[in-house]
Amino acid sequence: MGNILILGTSHTTDMHAYQSDKIEAGNYYCKFQDGELTWPEYISSKLNMNPIDISLGGIGIETYATRMLSIKDDYDVALIEMPSHYRHELYIEQNKIDYKRNYLLDSEFWSGDGPWSEEVIRYNVSDYDCGEVTLGKIDRVNNKAKIPLSVTDFKTSIENIAKHNEYLQYDKIYATMTMINGYLKSKQVLPIWFSWNFEFEEYDLTDFIVVNEQIFDGTFKDYVRDHLKYNHDDVNYFGDGCHLNSVFWRNLVDDFFIDFIKRRI
C-alpha cells in the first residue's frame, strides 16, 4: 500500500459542513469530524493507498511548492488541483521568537490549525469591503505584530491585485504547474492533475496527465452545469453556493478518477 499526495484548494478539502456560515450547509458536505471520509480520502480508499492530504481552503498556487516540500514521507502518486487565480496571501511579521529558516517547509506549519492559520491572511477582491470575517483575519495577524497591518494598507493591497491581468495570472499558474510537474517526475512520482474551474484549454499539456481529458478538457465546474445539469444556485447541489456537495463529488470520483488513476499506477 503506497502513499498518495493530495494537493489543492477548498474544492479538494470537502470540509465545508463545519466552515460555512449557513448552518444548513452541514446537510450537504462531508461530516469529517464524525468520521465520514472526505472525497480525497474516498479516492485513496478506492485505490488502496494512504492519503497525505495537504489541501487548504482559500490558498492557491503560490503555496503549492512550499506545502509539497514540507512533506518528508515518500509518496508514489500526487493528485493535484489546478487552482484558479483568485487566491492571494499576506505573510505578516509578528513579534515572535520561534521564527526559523525552513519555517514554511515544515509540515507542522501547514497542518490544519497550524501557524499558517494565525500568520497568513488569505484574501481576494471580495475582502475589500472588510466585513466581520475579513476584519477578524486582520486582527488575528496583528496579534503581537511589530508593525500592525492597517485596514487602509490592506485595502491598498487588494486594489493592487485587482489591477492584475487575468490572463497573465493564468500564465503564471501554468508556469508553476509545469515546474511542479517536472519536479515530481524527477522524484519518480506520478503527477495527476484535475481542474474544477481552471480553464486550461490554451496551454500545452502534452507532458501532463489530466483527469479532465475525459470530458474534452473542460472544467468539472462547467461539466456539472452543462452536462449533468447541476444548478449552482441550488443547495441540493451546492450547499454553500460555491462548493459541490460531497455526494456529487464522490460520483465524479467514481466516474472519472478511480479507473483513470488505476490505469496509470
pLDDT value at 254 more than 80: yes
Distance CA 83, CA 194 (A): 9
Burial degree of 131 (CB within 10 A; 0-12, 13-18, 19+)? exposed
Q: How far is CA 2 from CA 77, 81, 127, 175, in A?
A: 8, 20, 41, 29
For residues 186 and 136, which has the higher predicted lDDT (pLDDT)? Answer: 186
Q: Per-residue pLDDT averaged across 131-150, rounded?
A: 82
pLDDT value at 87 more than 90: no
- Residue 25 has a pLDDT of 56
**Which of these ranges, 29-38, 62-71, 101-110, 114-123, has the smallest mean pLDDT?**
114-123
Interior/surface letters 2-21, b for 16+ CB within 10 angstroms, e for the rest: ebbbbbbbbbbbbbbbeebe
- Residue 115 has a pLDDT of 79
Distance CA 162, CA 78 (A): 32
In the block, cell 483575519 appears at: 137
pLDDT value at 112 more than 60: yes
Amino acid present at 125? V
- Kindly report, residue by residue over 166-192, the tens digit of the pLDDT: 788 889 999 999 999 999 999 999 999
- Residue 23 has a pLDDT of 52
Q: Per-residue pLDDT averaged across 69-97, rounded?
A: 84
Q: pLDDT above 70 covers what percent of the chain?
A: 92
- Residue 93 has a pLDDT of 67
- What region does 188 belong to: left with phi over 0, alpha with psi -120 to 50, or beta? left
Q: Which three cell numbers stand for residue 187?
A: 522524484
Residues in the chain: 265
- Residue 263 has a pLDDT of 97
For residues 263 and 161, which has the higher predicted lDDT (pLDDT)? Answer: 263
Distance CA 109, CA 16 (A): 22
- Kindly report, residue by residue over 16-38, the tens digit of the pLDDT: 755 555 556 567 888 887 888 99
Q: Per-residue pLDDT averaged across 232-257, rounded?
A: 93
- Residue 250 has a pLDDT of 96
- Going by the DSSP 8-state scheme, the letter that residue 155 receives in this structure is H
pLDDT-derived band at 86 (thresholds 50, 70, 90) equals confident
Q: Per-residue pLDDT averaged across 62-88, rounded?
A: 92
Distance CA 62, CA 70 (A): 14
For residues 16 and 9, which has the higher predicted lDDT (pLDDT)? Answer: 9
Q: How far is CA 21 from CA 25, 239, 240, in A?
A: 8, 11, 8
Q: The CATH number of 3-85+165-262 is which of 3.40.710.10, 3.30.540.10, 3.90.1200.10, 3.40.50.1110?
A: 3.40.50.1110
* Contact assessment for residue 64 and residue 191, using Cβ atoms and an 8 Å cutoff: no
Q: How do the domains of the chain map onto residue ranges?
A: 3-85+165-262, 91-163
**3-state SS assignment for residue 190:** strand
Q: Per-residue pLDDT averaged across 194-210, rounded?
A: 94
- Going by the DSSP 8-state scheme, the letter that residue 97 receives in this structure is S
Distance CA 55, CA 7 (A): 5
* Average pLDDT across the chain, whole number: 88
Tell me the pTM.
0.89
**3-state SS assignment for residue 210:** strand
- Residue 233 has a pLDDT of 92
**Which of these ranges, 148-162, 177-191, 200-214, has the smallest mean pLDDT?**
148-162
Q: pLDDT above 90 covers what percent of the chain?
A: 51
- Residue 117 has a pLDDT of 77
Residue among 29, 92, 47, 40 nearest 252 (CA): 40
